Chain A
C-alpha cells in the first residue's frame, strides 16, 4: 500500500509523469508498468458493420488518458462495452478486460460502477424531475437506506444521509452548483448538467472516472476550472479516461493519448507525438488543426490566397489520382 501511495504522490509532479510516460512505447496497444484497465480483443459488430475492434489497450493508473478519434470511430461504443452497457460480439470468444485486477468479462453495468469505474454520458443523463441534491445523493455508494427493509426506519440511515449530504454540498460548491441545490435538475442548462453529472459520478469515490465529451457545451471560463478540477482528481490519485474533440483541452491536460479510427486503435503516445503523427492528422485532425480559425491574421488577403492555392493543389492531386484510378 505504501508503494501505491508513493506512485500517487509522485504523479502529481509533471516531471515525474513525463518521465513515466517517456518510458511508454509510442505504439497502439503499448504495455504500461501499472495498468488499471487492460482490454483484450473487444469486437462489437452491428450487423455487418464493425463498430469497435480493439485488440489490446492498457490504461496507466493515476494518469489522464485521452481517447480521441473522428466521429463514428467507436469511442462511445467502446465506453459502453467496457462499462457493461453493451456486450461485445466476441463475448465468450476471447474478449477479455479487467479493471484493477478484477475480470469484468461478464459483469453488469452496476457492478462495474461498484468496482470503481464510473462513467458519464455524452448526452447527459441528469434526472430532470429530481432536485440537484437528490441527483447528487444517488451517486453515493453503500447507502443503508437503499435497503428496502431498513429504508422504513429513519434512524438506521439518518446519520449516513447527513454525511452524504455534506459531501454532496462540498462537491456542488466545487462545481459551482451549490446555489442550484434545491432546483430541479431539468431547470439547469446543458453545461450545468454536464457538471452535475460529473459531480454525481464523483460522489461514488471512483478509482477511475470515464468522461464522455465532458467539455462539449461548457463555456470557456468553466472549462478552465473543470480542467483544473480534473487535474486535481489525477493528483489525488484517480485515473481519468476521457473522450474529447477539443484538441486544446486534450493537449492541455492529457498525459497520454489513444487514437481510434474506424473502430481500431491506430495510435498511442503523448499528446505532441500523436498530434504530429501523419496517420492521425490524416484520419482525424486535418492539416490545419494547429491554426486557429478565429485568428484575424488568417483573414488577410495573402493568407487566404495561400490557403486557396493549397486547396487547389490538393484538389488537383485528388483529381489526378481519381483519373489514374479511372484509367486503371
Chain B
C-alpha cells in the first residue's frame, strides 16, 4: 500500500513538474511544424537549447532578464531562418536531415571547452547563475504550501479505505470523462462542455486530495516556477487555437496535404512554411527557457532523445489537435515514471537495479510508441476520420 502510494505520488509530482510543462510547450511548437504543416523538424531540442542558452548566457553575463528572453527568441528565429532558407524549397525529408544535424551542431558547440566562459561547456550553466531575476519577479509569499491543504490525511487519519475509495472515484471520473469526450455526437452544446470542465476540475482536485503536493512558494523549484510554466502552457494553447482556426491555419493544413495544389492556387508556400517553422521554433525556444528555470542549462539534457520524446508525446496526444500535445506530454512523462518506479520497487535489485529500471522505462516507451502508431495512429485526442484517407 505504501509502495503504491509512493509510486502514485511520484507520478503526480512528475505531472505538474515545470519540466513537463516546458516539454509540453516545445511539443505545442512541434505540433505546428509536424501536426499542422507537415514539416518534419527533427531538431526541436536544438530550438529549446538555443532558447535556454539565449536566456542563460545573457543573465549570467549580468544583462537584464527581459533581454535574455529576447535573445533566446532571437536565436531561435535566426536558427529557423538559417535552416529554412535552403531546405524549405526541397522535399520534406531534407528538412529532417538538416534539422537533426543542426541541433547536434548546437549541442556540440555548447559542449565545446573553447566557450567555457559563455556556455560552461559540458558542465553547463548552473541554475543559480541565472534563475535569481526570475524568482525576484515572484509575487508569491514566502514559506511553503501543501496543495490541497485539506487532503486524505485529514479524513480518518489517512486510512487505507479512504484512499482506496478515492482512487476508485478518480478512475470512475476519468472513465466518465473519456466516455463524454468520445461520444461526441450524442451529447453536445453547452451542457456537454460544462460537464467536461466540471469533471476535469473535480478529477484534478480529487487527485490533489489523494496525492498532496508540498513545495516552497518561491524556491528553486517551487510553486512560482510551476505556476508560470503551466500558465505559459495555457497561453500557448490559446495562441495555437487562435492561429489554426484562422485562414492561415487552413493554409498550413493545405500545405500538409499537398504543396503543389496550394501553389497552383496562388499562395506563397515557401513564406507560409517559413512562418510555421519560425512560430514552432519560438515555442520550442520558450519551452527551452522554461525547461532550465528549475534546473540548469545542460547541453546534453536537450539532445536527440528529447526531440524523440517530443515526437512520442505528440503522437500519443494526437497531432494536429489543440490539447493533444499537453495531454500527450503529461501521459508520456507520468507513464515513464510509473514504469521506472514500478520496476524499481517491485523488481528485486538482483534482476534490475535503479539504473537499469530507468533504461527499462525508455525501452517500454519505445515499444509503446510502436504500438501506438500501429493501433491508434491518431493518438488519444485525434480524429480517426482524418486518417482514413491517408494516401
Contact with B along A26-67 (1 / 0, CB 8 A): 000000000000000000000000000000000000000000
> Most chain-A CB neighbours within 10 Å: which of B256, B266, B272, B275?
B266
Contact with B along A95-125 (1 / 0, CB 8 A): 0000000000000111111100011110001
Using A110-B269, A152-B239 as known contacts, say yes or no to A85 and B262 having CB atoms under 8 A apart. no
Min C-beta distance of B244 to chain A, whole Å: 9
- A to B CB contacts below 8 Å, 20 in the list: A85-B264, A109-B264, A110-B268, A110-B269, A118-B264, A121-B261, A125-B260, A127-B253, A128-B389, A129-B253, A134-B254, A137-B247, A138-B265, A141-B266, A146-B267, A147-B248, A151-B246, A154-B246, A157-B247, A184-B388
Query: Which residues of the other chain, A, contact B254 by a CB distance below 8 angstroms?
Result: 127, 130, 134, 138
Contact with A along B239-256 (1 / 0, CB 8 A): 100110011111101101
Residues of A within 8 A of B (CB): 83, 85, 108-114, 118-121, 125-130, 134, 137-139, 141, 143-148, 151-152, 154, 157, 161, 184-187, 197, 200-201, 203-204
Min C-beta distance of B385 to chain A, whole Å: 6
Using A113-B266, A138-B262 as known contacts, say yes or no to A157 and B391 having CB atoms under 8 A apart. no
**Does A125 lie within 8 Å of B258, measured CB to CB?**
yes
Main secondary structure of the interface of B (DSSP, over half): helix
Using A130-B254, A200-B265 as known contacts, say yes or no to A145 and B248 having CB atoms under 8 A apart. yes
Residues of B within 8 A of A (CB): 239, 242-243, 246-251, 253-254, 256-258, 260-269, 272, 275, 279, 385-391
Min C-beta distance of B88 to chain A, whole Å: 13
- A129-B387 Cα distance, complex, nearest whole Å: 7
Q: How many A-B residue pairs have CB under 8 A?
A: 116
* Supplied contacts A129-B253, A129-B387, A138-B267, 11 more A-B pairs, CB within 8 Å: A85-B260, A110-B266, A113-B265, A143-B247, A145-B248, A151-B243, A152-B242, A157-B246, A157-B247, A186-B388, A204-B266
- A125-B254 Cα distance, complex, nearest whole Å: 11
Query: Which residues of the other chain, A, contact B263 by a CB distance below 8 angstroms?
Result: 85, 108-110, 113
Query: Which residues of the other chain, B, contact A114 by a CB distance below 8 angstroms?
Result: 266
| Residue from the list B246, B265, B269, B275 in contact with A145, Cβ < 8 A | B246
**Does B247 lie within 8 Å of A146, measured CB to CB?**
yes
Query: Which residues of the other chain, B, contact A203 by a CB distance below 8 angstroms?
Result: 265
